Chain A
């Protein structure tokens, strides 16, 4: 049982503040993903939770105990490191048993726990091997096994899949989720890959520039991004943006005029300029809708579908189409817009309207 509460936490390195006013509450047994580009502060936040770095300002609670000054070795956490951090001079068995020995468990019990975990991680045949005799995927599984064998209250994972190839990554993703379901622990998972975040997290924390941008379920982040950063970071292909000027009941854009619905007017208020956000699936082929037009720039064939990038004035828009549509670079195109799905952002602050 562990609930993690982060209150106004900040972190300085010398004169540089790398985390600004981060507050977050993580529920017991939740799988939460910290996602953001490199330098966004996600790993720093994870290391603060682990106790590997001291907190400069703010408070950190495990359940209702303040743990700011609790040494890392006294927090009941387990961590999986990006480059595994296995003990090179120990066998797989000893790597997993190392933490249990510290807790003074009986030899038989350690044996039993390690063997059970090894089976769960499919490592039973490698227990006598040293880390250097294992493949990348196997090492990753040892690192995971070492974490779960301890049966910790809090599980911290720092980009654990970034050193694996694409195929193995997908496989390990579901393996981690399966393991998380089988143990009773709160998990904090750091990644820069938004697909990983979307597929794994109960809730996702999007970070940028040392600040938490938005916290929410994958659906919330996708459907109701709070600012331009979150909107552009979540989703592949990414959301596209189009500058627009309001004129009576119209939105004037480079790609043509769009009607201004009453709901839009309410959201935009008195603003004259606004940024429109368009997801690729909200542009459609066919008649009967207001359209944006432009010139095809790149066509990406993904097998089941086509991704077409086209430019309207200074903006590039992306549309997702079923296979079979024929487009070539240079073609003049026109796509219908699902008007009730538009996102609006303040042009100056980037906040969603």
Chain B
């Protein structure tokens, strides 16, 4: 009797285990499909001819794969390499500027004992709460009056404005995780505060700097509304904005060409993401581990 009960129980628990695993895999599969399907569709469409791309019964795989769209991009009258360069330059610069400004701010917020430290931190974060569009008009006026409208540097200012609060908060988390005794030891060793920041804190949060920079960069890279608004000269346009401007016409959209361009736009971002993936995971969990 006991044997039967026990084996029955075991069978049930075994089923429960496999059942649970199955549910797990199904959920993961759904999540994967959700994220990867658009990327697949972009890739697959970029290899389709114009006719196939706009068929009423869309094909899952390109029937006659062609690289015509990519060749078209290279030979097009539009300066795609220039767009790419504009994107890289403005986003990279925005990431660097944001991190450079954010480090001392985050350090002050993390270590300072002044009474308003907390409220200042939240005020910085409030900028994040606004929809990007709300900042558009004031930024436009600022750029207009400083003569930075329609310049890449103006774009950098725009990206930085939106990326900075996030960068400050993210870096604050990294700095919080550095034990204060390490800094105090350096102070006792005779170093003034700013040197402690440079020689001790920054080397210790190095992965955090990279991670934060990548986050700001990714956000800037995907930003569509700022370049569309601030840049009027097509030669100074960034990739995402150029895609919209050049491939969507009033009567016809070149889907194949657009997807080819989109692929090229996404690729650097993916490469950047995988390159820092390890330090990113470390970065996001840094605050949860005590000690060094």
Of B185, B203, B291, chain A has the most CB atoms within 10 Å of the CB of B185
Within the assembled complex, what's the spacing in Å between the Cα atoms of A65 and B182?
28
- Contact yes or no, A87 B179, CB < 8 A: no
Q: Is A278 an interface residue (CB 8 A)?
A: no
- Once the chains bind, are A52 and B185 in contact (CB under 8 Å)? no
8 A Cβ contacts from A89-119 to B: 89, 98-99, 102-103
**Which residues from A are CB-within-8-Å of B292?**
88, 131-132
Does the CB pair B181–A102 fall under 8 Å? Answer: no
Residue of B188, B191, B291 contacting most chain A CB atoms (<10 Å): B188
CB-CB contacts below 8 Å: B174-208 with A: 179, 181-182, 184-192, 200, 203-204
Contacts of A131 in B (CB 8 A): 292
Question: Which residues of A lie under 8 Å from residue B179 when comparing CB positions?
Answer: 83, 85
Q: Which residues of the partner chain A approach B189 to less than 8 Å between Cβ atoms? A: 73, 98-99, 102, 146, 150
Q: Are A79 and B182 in contact (CB under 8 A)?
A: no
A85 near B190: Cβ-Cβ < 8 Å: no
Partner of B187, one of A72, A83, A86: A72
Bound Cα distance from A297 to B190, whole angstroms: 56
B200 touches A87 (CB 8 A): yes
Residues of chain A with a CB closer than 8 A to B204's CB: 88-89
For A88, list chain B residues within 8 Å (CB).
182, 204, 292
Question: Is A52 a contact of B187 with CB atoms below 8 Å?
Answer: yes
| Proximity string of chain A (117-141) to chain B, C-beta cutoff 8 Å, 1 when within and 0 when not | 0000000000000011000000000
Contact B188 A77 (CB under 8 A): yes
Q: How many residues of A contact B (CB 8 A)?
A: 26
Task: Judge whether A81 is part of the interface by a CB distance below 8 angstroms.
Answer: yes
Greatest chain A CB density within 10 A among B179, B190, B203 is at B190
Report the bound CA distance from A84 to B188 in whole Å.
13
Number of interface residues of B (CB under 8 A): 17
A50 within 8 A of B: yes
Taking a contact as CB atoms under 8 Å apart, the answer to whether B191 and A81 are in contact is no
A78 at the interface (CB under 8 A from B): yes
A58 to B204, CA, bound (A): 37
Among candidates A71, A74, A86, residue contacting B185 with C-beta atoms closer than 8 Å: A86
* Distance A146 CA – B191 CA, assembled complex (angstroms): 14
Q: How far is the CA of A85 from the CA of B204 in the complex (A)?
A: 13
Contact A103 B185, CB 8 Å, known A87-B200, A89-B203, A89-B204: no
A99 CB, min distance to chain B CBs, angstroms: 4
Q: Is the CB of B190 within 8 A of A102?
A: yes
Decide if A52 touches B184 in the complex (CB within 8 Å).
Answer: yes
Would you call B192 and A73 a contact (CB within 8 A)?
yes
Nearest residue (CB) in A for B196 is A73
Contact of B188 among A72, A86, A87 (CB under 8 A): A72
A73: B residues at CB distance < 8 A = 187-192
Q: Give complex CA distance A72, B193 in Å.
A: 10
Instruction: Using CB atoms, name the residue of chain B closest to A89.
Output: B203
Of all chain A residues, the one with the shortest Cβ separation from B204 is: A89
A38-74 interface with B by 8 A CB criterion: 50, 52, 71-74
Give the docked Cα–Cα distance between A52 and B188 (Å).
Answer: 8
Q: Which residues of B sit under 8 angstroms from A98, Cβ to Cβ?
A: 186, 189
Q: Which of B152-179 contact A (CB under 8 A)?
A: 179
Instruction: Report B54 CB to chain A, min CB distance, Å.
Output: 57
Do A85 and B187 have beta carbons less than 8 Å apart? no
Give chain B residues whose Cβ lies under 8 Å from the Cβ of A71. 192
| Residue contact B181 to A83, C-beta cutoff 8 Å | yes
Min Cβ gap A176→B in Å is 17
Bound state CA distance, A86 and B204, in angstroms?
A: 12
When A73-B190, A88-B292 are in contact, do A79 and B203 touch as well, CB less than 8 Å? no
Contact B181 A81 (CB under 8 A): yes
Known: A88-B292, A89-B204. A102 touches B182 (CB 8 A): no
Residue of B nearest to A81 (CB): B181
Taking CB atoms, residues of chain B closer than 8 Å to A82 are: 181
- The smallest beta-carbon distance between A186 and chain B, in angstroms, is 15
Asked whether, in the complex, the Cβ of A85 is within 8 Å of the Cβ of B184, the reply is: yes
Q: How far does the alpha carbon of A102 sit from the alpha carbon of B200 in the complex, in Å? A: 13
Residues 39-54 of chain B: 1 if any A CB is under 8 Å from the residue's CB, otherwise 0? Answer: 0000000000000000
Measured CB to CB, the nearest residue on chain B to A158 is B181
Chain A residues closer than 8 Å to B184, beta-carbon distance: 52, 72, 79, 81, 85
Q: Is the CB of B182 within 8 A of A85?
A: yes
On chain B, the residues within 8 Å of A132 by CB distance are 292
Cα(A87)–Cα(B184), bound, Å: 11
Cross-chain contact A81 with B185 (CB below 8 angstroms): yes
**Chain A nearest CB: distance from B192 CB in Å?**
6
B187 contacts which chain A residues (CB < 8 A)?
Answer: 52, 72-73
CB neighbors of A among B1-28 (8 A)? none
Q: Which residues of A contact B182 (CB under 8 A)?
A: 85-88
Q: Is the CB of A79 within 8 A of B185?
A: yes
How far apart are A147's CB and chain B's nearest CB, in angstroms?
Answer: 9
13 contacts between A and B (CB under 8 A): A72-B188, A73-B187, A73-B190, A74-B190, A84-B181, A86-B185, A87-B185, A87-B200, A88-B292, A89-B204, A99-B190, A102-B190, A102-B191
Given A73-B190, A86-B185, 11 more pairs with CB closer than 8 A: A52-B184, A71-B192, A73-B187, A77-B188, A81-B185, A83-B179, A87-B182, A87-B185, A87-B200, A88-B182, A103-B190
> What are the nearest 5 A-B pairs in CB distance?
A85-B181, A99-B189, A85-B185, A102-B190, A88-B292
